[in-house]
Structure 1
Amino acid sequence: MDGGRIQRRDFFGKAFKTAAVVLLAETILSCTDKQEPLLSETNKIVAAPAVYEINKWAFHLNSFCSDLDKDELTLTEWQDQLADLYGKIELEDILRFIDFERLIKDLPLPDLGVATKKVVFPKINGLPEDTVFVKKVFGMNPRRAIIPHGHSNMASGHLTLDGEFRLRQYDKISKTNSSLVLNKTVDKVIKAGDFSSISDDRNNVHWFIAGNRPAYTFDVIMLDLKGEKYDIHNLDMEAAEELADGRLEAPIMSVQNALSKYGKVTEA
């Protein structure tokens, strides 16, 4: 993994020299390096270098997720790799790649909670159609929330596609049958292009509240890590008890109660 991080020159490779070149759907370009896969069809007419970059992004994303699945990356290494990877690609390229505008036309947003839509990548030679990771777009109306929750045996990355959120995150220190002990790590407003992630080892709990217009994320989700069944723990953060060391002990609650209490908010 060359020290566990992609260098910019390696990621973009031998970029195409003529930026004016465009591709129609089903045009195929070969990379100059024989070890690299072919670039395949796109949904739009786009500049050739942009197609090259987004296809490289998709292959690296699949590679990192496969490495995590095989326990060849630690959880925090995977989180770092994805943050670095997303920092090397333009948001507009990802929106085009997943056909975001078409997806959200068929994604009615509920009055409470969130709506989700499966993402299918365009066909690219050498990239499996059934990736090891789950790909979804999440959408919500203004002032709605992805309710506060923690995770077990999961890792996921979240790219804000449109709108903005107040994001709060917490490290999971320990778990009982009825609560999680947490340490607060993040409390900030995130906007389109911002990336966050969770795992058992870092920023395990997250809580998104949409701003004053509809907001969307693209999520990459790894489940059942190390052969252990994944689980989600919805939390009553307002009822969390502050411990002597400054950490918080938050009660676990049912999804129905969590949605009722946190799914729609008047203040962020």
Structure 2
Amino acid sequence: MAALAALALASPARAVGSTVDSPASTADIRFCVDEANPLSSTDRAVAQAVAARSGLRAAFVKLNTGDDGVDGDGDDAKIDPGKVFAKMAGQCDLVMGVPVEASGAGVPQGLQATRPYARTGFVMATTGAPPRDFDTMVATADIGVDFLTVPNSYFDTRTAHAEHVYYTNDDLLAALLKGEVGAAMVWQPWLVREEAAHPHALREAVMNMPDAAWNVVALYMPRAAAQARAFNQGLERLEQAGQLKTLVAPYQVAGE
């Protein structure tokens, strides 16, 4: 759970406001998709494909954790992500797009996870020479990280001189582009979405560091166990058909 809190979806998550864009009363399975999550388009595509493969009628509850105030605390998703995910799970059967540790650990208490449908994580990004291993990078460049994310834990007294902490991914990327830091450790889905909207010709590399790789799952409450089984079966069909890999590109299918 601590590692999940450190990840905090690598986005400034706040309130959970919701709308339903499909008829929930006739749905066999209801998916929560957080529009503030940079994986949201992938999450929706996977959910739609799973429902189609399984012959299920799907409804989508659109959430936005970028709206104001979760019970007056705008930092809940970073401080207590379990609370936010539980709130989401109360509105649907499956909460899409949740990163958990590659080992499967870190699922919030009271919730359960489906099988993974994608693998992503933190990447090292540069504007010049390609990124190298962490030890080489800290010896040659200042490195920017986002506050309260896993890369914060990589620095110790020997390497603290190279760490520069920023409070949003936007600030972190701006610092990299302005040359304030020579490299940045960024949550890959956020960077992929940002580069699609505003290309900067960055060079990036997956990090071979503890907790740098994360599986993407859907979370659910025990009452939605039947829907979760149907989801898992649909994922298996998608994978066997070779469709899942395409749906989650540019991310890797979990287990590959």
Same fold per superposition (TM over 0.5): no
**Which structure's relative contact order is higher, taking Cα pairs within 8 Å and 6+ residues apart?**
2
Q: Which has the larger radius of gyration?
A: 1
Report the structure, 1 or 2, having the larger helix content: 2
